[in-house]
Amino acid sequence: MTIVLNKRLLILVATLLLSVSIVGVSAIRSAFGEVGDPTIQTDHPQYAGEGAFQTIEQCVRFATRDADKPQDKAIAMFNWMLTHQFHLKSPQEWCIAGRTPDTEDTGDYEMVVYDANRARFSYGYGLCGTVHSWNEPYWNALGMRPRRRAFPGHVNSEIHYSGGWHAYDTDMAGLLFRKDGLVAGYADIIKDPKLVDSVKAPLPHYPFAWPSDFEGMKRGWQQVAAGGNWYKLYNGGYAAHPGIVHLRAGESFTRWFDRDHYGGPSKRRFWHHQKNGPYRNWTFVNKGDPSHVGGESNCRGNASYCNGEFFYQPMLESGGYLEGTLDVSPNLEHRTKSPKLFSSNGKSASLTFRHFSPYVICGDPVDDENPMRGKATDGFVVEANIVGTIAVEVSADQGQSWSTIQLGANTAASGKFNRRLDLTEFVKGRYGWHLRLSWEGESGVDALRFTTVTQVCQAFYPRLSERGSTVNYKATDRGVVAVIPNLGIPASENPNTFEEVKLRSSNIEYLGRGPKSRLAYQTTNNKPATVVFRIDAPQPLEEVRAAFRYPIRVPPPKEFDFHMEVSTDQGKSWKQFARADIPADNEFSSGWLSGKIDVTDAKSKQALVRFHVYGGGHRTGVMDAQLYGIHSTDGGQPLLIDYGWKQAGQLQTHTEIVPNGKAQHTFKVPTRDNIQDEFVKLSVGTRNRE
């Protein structure tokens, strides 16, 4: 589709581009004020926010900070999981071409989210098999090998410590104990069925007091004890997606704790198939430390979701908009008169803006129930003041495919927005977007602003404490480049945007993943094969993260090899940073391998990541792939933090200014008793809305 925008806006963009041609993009960028990776951590005892939970390792440290022995650490981690996740239909995203995600379809496991980082930032809820997959990276970080186990009508999990396996069910919230005091595992209960009654109050235990499941888990353990093959499943979950927000000059990020902030149930914005949005009232979330004594349990929580809103008004007249762009044509310049962004020679000019975050883009479902298969609005809105005719293209897959809208300008007063585009349908269920504007002749752009609304895990909101709350701010000057290959594009149409095809081994071919094909790449013989992807960043890379899903025979062959390597010298040398460990008793026909590596010393803006696959003498391949480059960013303007909360029903606010370039800042929010969280907003050189 093509869009026409106001002339003044085009001129402004053009003037900015002219400045770039004179002083250089990097010089202009450093003159403005991006803030990379701002985080907040409060002193709330359970829900301290992303400053405490940005990575898996941080979560583990926070959860086990008062524990010493292995089992004490495991139980502390178990309780943390119970208070940060709840039971609900598993989140789904756009994983396979030809399929539309819909959480009502609980049998479509291929569309389910298995990245624990995405789960922690955007969701915090899932069914048993999904939640126990997410838990695997946490247990691994704790030094305890995890695996999922089959269970009657359920999926359980076990972790290994102190010489044995122990069952930790964070979905149905139950622990059983051996006579020596250690948590019991499958083998223990099979050996001694009486352990189904071995509970230790006040720890959560079976039978858990959900109405339909009161005795169900106890009967399930009795069935396990009677014998049978209760499958052992390894490597179902992983953690790759970076939890990093990058704010540019003119941008703010607001998190609203109340899901009715936009105007009540009919205006709620979410990414889930459920009337009025994801919600659960049988959970330990929001109920303090989990407790279960006899028939009494504090499991009647009230868990839902929050919203995040990115509001970005690029600073066209000063050149600050370059911080938000990916590509700018050489003939695009800017000036102070209309159009502000314009073509210097009348020929086709263009620029591409981009957005990416750890939070999934959502929307207001027209039917108030299903934004996934049904239409949704107000998740991604573009407002513009344009001159003449402008083509607007939007991409949800980092520019691998585009949708185009044709627009013409309406008469508007100087500086006002004369076009409003709701592009929610193009990007809902994604984590970012690319938007390309192009024009020629006398057309141009005078003003732009983008509003992107996301779903935020409620347990991830940085909540305030009563009677004065201490808040720690930190920024590490980092941004993220996402490389998520669209593996659903047919082989005949695949643009190979990110793959280095010349480095692909000759014995593996691209198939394209679809409803009838689980494999995106498949080996043509039984020998080792490789596929290579490229990460390009605007600034030097500091870290590379990647994950891919592989198929594996059951039982696994004695010789197999799935690993990842990185090169920062265009493939001259390679360094391995992750290798799959698949135990001999694995009964899961696929698995995820993820890893990360520091590449700061290379001072390179490009990295190559090589996936090495070998099925132990059998054909294999690649099912899915995700790559991320974490790069440095420039420091800039001061950042404003606005906190809002209610006391006795009255809104209270506190504004804190973080000085220019300050990486850490601690302040106090003057709360009193009985507070209710409302919002927290981070702003970098933003303007007031018109």
Residue 408, pLDDT above cutoff 70: no
Q: How does residue 494 score in pLDDT terms, banded at 50, 70 and 90?
A: confident
Asked which of 119-128, 328-337, 446-455 is least confident by mean pLDDT, the reply is 328-337
Which of 19-33, 393-407, 435-449, 533-547 is least confident? 19-33
Q: What integer is the mean pLDDT of 596-620? A: 98
Please give the pLDDT value at position 409: 60
Read off the pLDDT of each residue in 291-311 and give the average, rounded to a whole number: 91
Both tokens of 464, joined, read 């305030």
User: What is the rounded distance in angstroms from the CA atom of residue 78 to the CA atom of residue 88?
Assistant: 18
Q: Is residue 390 part of a domain?
A: no
3-state secondary structure of 187: helix
pLDDT tens, position by position, 71-87: 999 999 999 999 999 99
Cβ-in-10-Å burial (0-12, 13-18, 19+) of 182 comes to middle
One-letter amino acid of 467: R
- CA–CA–CA angle 182, 186, 192 (5° rounding): 75
10 pLDDT higher than 50: no
* Residue 619 counted as domain residue: yes
Q: 131: closest CA among 153, 110, 157?
A: 157
Q: Is the pLDDT confidence value at 603 over 60?
A: yes
pLDDT exceeds 80 at position 624: yes
Is 167 within 8 Å of 178 (Cβ atoms)?
no
Q: Which amino acid is residue 478, in one-letter code?
A: R
Mean predicted confidence (pLDDT) in 601-612: 98
Q: Per-residue confidence at 37, pLDDT binned at 50, 70, 90?
A: very high
Distance CA 82, CA 55 (A): 18
Last residue of a domain, one of 579, 605, 632: 632
pLDDT at 21: 33
- Whether the per-residue pLDDT at 210 is higher than 80: the answer is no
User: How far is Cα 324 from Cα 388, in angstroms, rounded to an integer?
Assistant: 23
Q: Residue 89: which CATH number?
A: 3.10.620
Per-position DSSP letters for 236-286, written without gaps between them: --B--S----EEPTTEEEEEESSTTTTTSGGG--BSSSSTTS--BSSBSTT
pLDDT (average), residues 473-489: 95
Kindly write down the DSSP assignment for every residue of 75-90, as one continuous string.
Answer: HHHHHHHHHH-EESSP
Is the backbone of residue 76 left (phi > 0), alpha (psi -120 to 50) or beta? alpha
- pLDDT > 70? residue 2: no
SS3 29: helix
* Highest mean pLDDT pick, 31-35, 151-155, 192-196, 362-366: 362-366
CB atoms near residue 107 (< 10 Å): 5
The domain spanning residue 503 has which CATH number? Answer: 2.60.120.260
> Is 191's pLDDT higher than 80?
yes
Residues 6 or more apart whose Cβ sits within 8 Å of residue 595: 545, 546, 547, 564, 577, 578
- Last residue of one domain, picked from the residues 616, 632, 648: 632
Residue 339 preceded by cis peptide, ω within 30: yes
Does residue 421 fall inside a structural domain?
no
> Mean pLDDT over all residues of the chain?
90
Burial class (CB in 10 A: 0-12, 13-18, 19+), 559: exposed
Model confidence band, residue 581 (pLDDT cutoffs 50, 70, 90): very high
Select from 85, 107, 104 the least CA-distant residue to 169.
85
In this structure, of 131-135, 307-311, 320-324, 551-555, the range with the lowest mean pLDDT score is 320-324
CB neighbours of 493 closer than 8 A, spacing ≥ 6? none
Provide the domain limits for residue 569: 483-632
What pLDDT score was predicted for residue 541?
A: 98
In the chain, pLDDT over 90 holds for what percent of residues?
78
Q: Assign 18 a pLDDT band (cuts: 50, 70, 90).
A: very low
Return the amino acid letter for 168: Y
Give the pLDDT score at 216: 79
- Answer whether residue 128 is part of any domain: yes
pLDDT tens figures, 648-661: 899 999 999 998 87
Within a domain: 36: no
Token digits of residue 483: 């490389």
- Tell whether 151 is covered by a domain: yes
Residue entry with tokens 């001259």:
572
Bridge partners for 233 per DSSP: 148
Residue 313 in any domain: the answer is: no
Q: Between 321 and 189, where is the model more confident?
A: 189
Inside any domain, residue 590: yes
What tokens does 545 get?
């993260």
The DSSP 8-state label assigned to residue 635 in this structure reads -
Strands 154-161 and 145-151: antiparallel
For residues 616, 137, 172, 66, the Cα torsion angle rounded to the nearest 10 degrees is 140
pLDDT given for residue 17 in this prediction = 32
For residue 236, which of 166, 154, 159, 137 has the smallest C-alpha distance? 137
- How many CA within 13 A on the CB side of residue 140? 19
Q: Are 70 and 165 in contact (CB under 8 A)?
A: no
Instruction: Encode pLDDT of 504-555 as tens digits.
Output: 999 999 999 988 889 999 999 999 999 999 999 999 999 999 999 999 999 9
Q: What is the pTM for the complete model shown?
A: 0.93
Q: Which of the listed residues 589, 614, 632 is the one where a domain comes to its end? A: 632
CA 303 to chain centre: 19
Is 6's pLDDT higher than 50? no
Asked, as a colleague might, if the bond just before 70 is cis with ω within 30 of 0, I would say no
Given a cut of 70, whether residue 493 has pLDDT beyond it is yes
pLDDT at residue 635 in the model = 73
Quote the number of domains for the chain: 2
Mapping DSSP onto H, E and C, the string for 291-355 reads CEECCEECCECCECEEEEEEEECCCCCCCHHHHHEEEECCCEEECCCCCEEEECCCCCEEEEEEE
